[in-house]
Amino acid sequence: MKKIGVLTSGGDAPGMNAAIRAVTRTALYKNMEVIGIRRGYNGLINGDVFEMNARSVSSIIQRGGTLLFTARCPEFKEEAGIMKAVETCKRIGIEGLVVIGGDGSYRGAGDLSAHGIPCIGIPGTIDNDITSTDYTIGYDTAMNTVMELVDKLRDTSHSHDRCSVVEVMGRRAGYIAVNTAVACGAANVLCPEKEYDLEAITNKMLATRKLGKQNFIIIVAEGIGHCDEIAKYITEKTGIDARTTILGHVQRGGSPTVRDRVLASQMGNYAVNLLEKGIGNRVVGVRGDKLVDFDIQEALKMQKEFDDDLYQLSDIISI
């Protein structure tokens, strides 16, 4: 392959820039041309593209967001949209594509591969809800952001003997919630993978308050929702003043951690190595310390185990 494209799609994640940088510079190192595609699949459909050089990705490794912008593109889910994207690739001479995004973006990459444009997916989402990899780019940074913010909340919550009900991101997954619950010493964690019992939670709060526990952090994954109602219930049942904080999109921003920068750099490099060999319709992942790749359709069918031990641990050590 002599010319490849790169795009970011779906929700952004810190470390996407580091991945774009690695893709671009690895490709240039291999004497390939690199085309940056703006706003996900929209850029392919509309021809919103530009030629990248080594300086196009200068000073971005430390920046959150994505220099290529990102978007959701419903038009790309239709055959007509895909055909427009294929035409753009043919017109510009894009022979292969690196798609950085979540599993929706992987589906698009699978469709494009089936239409003759070999694509490699790189997992970029803070939710860590991609089954074909242990870690996604952005997950570590988002968790560190949550941890910093919850630590601040704890200061004020402790001073007022309150309970903080904190909603963290994760519409369909509780990875951020469970890990940050352990890291922040939360009294409870509510996530989509597990049933929860508010009565048991408030009983535990009352029992531990008797033992001198002053403040409570309850982490709630976005997929559970109802934080205000949960806080109201807690106050009614326990008499402890419970307040809600929704952390929201602040979790998606900020300078990526070392882990995310390194992972993104390795995955970007790995993706180009596959394309160079003419390999497409694959996604990159990490298993343990090893980079791996899978067929896109196989990857989309994989299951990821919920870490029950960690979930239990957060309960055991929060008395």
The two tokens of residue 229 are 């109602």
Backbone angles phi, psi at 211, to 5 degrees: -85, 5
> With CB under 6 A as the contact rule, which of the stretches 22-30, 45-53, 122-130, 283-291 interacts with ligand F6P?
122-130
36 in contact with ligand ADP (CB under 6 A): no
170 in contact with ligand F6P (CB under 6 A): yes
Catalytic (active site) residue 127:
yes
Q: Name which position in 7, 137, 169, 220 contacts ligand F6P (CB under 6 A).
A: 169
DSSP 36: E
Catalytic residue among 12, 103, 111, 127: 127
> With CB under 6 A as the contact rule, which of the stretches 46-54, 120-128, 207-215, 310-318 interacts with ligand F6P?
120-128
Residue list 110-149, contact with ligand ADP (CB under 6 A) = 111, 125
Q: Name which position in 90, 152, 171, 287 contacts ligand F6P (CB under 6 A).
A: 171
Site residue total, ligand ADP (CB under 6 A): 18
169 touches, from ligand F6P, ligand ADP, none (C-beta below 5 to 8 Å by class) = ligand F6P
Residues 6+ apart with CB under 8 A from 232: 242
140 in contact with ligand F6P (CB under 6 A): no
Cβ-count burial of 62 within 10 angstroms (0-12 exposed, 13-18 middle, 19+ buried)? Answer: exposed
Cβ-count burial of 155 within 10 angstroms (0-12 exposed, 13-18 middle, 19+ buried)? Answer: exposed
301 touches, from ligand ADP, ligand F6P, none (C-beta below 5 to 8 Å by class) = none
**43, 92 contact by CB (below 8 A):** no
Parallel, antiparallel, or unpaired: how do β-strands 216-221 and 163-168 relate? Answer: parallel
Rounded Cα distance, 173 and 167, in Å: 13
CB of 84 to ligand ADP, least distance (A): 12
14 in contact with ligand F6P (CB under 6 A): no
Give the nearer residue to ligand ADP in terms of CB position, either 139 or 216.
139
**238, 230 contact by CB (below 8 A):** no
Rounded Cα distance, 93 and 250, in Å: 38
**Residues designated as active site:** 127
Residues at the contact surface with ligand F6P, assessed by CB under 6 A:
11, 125-127, 169-171, 222, 252
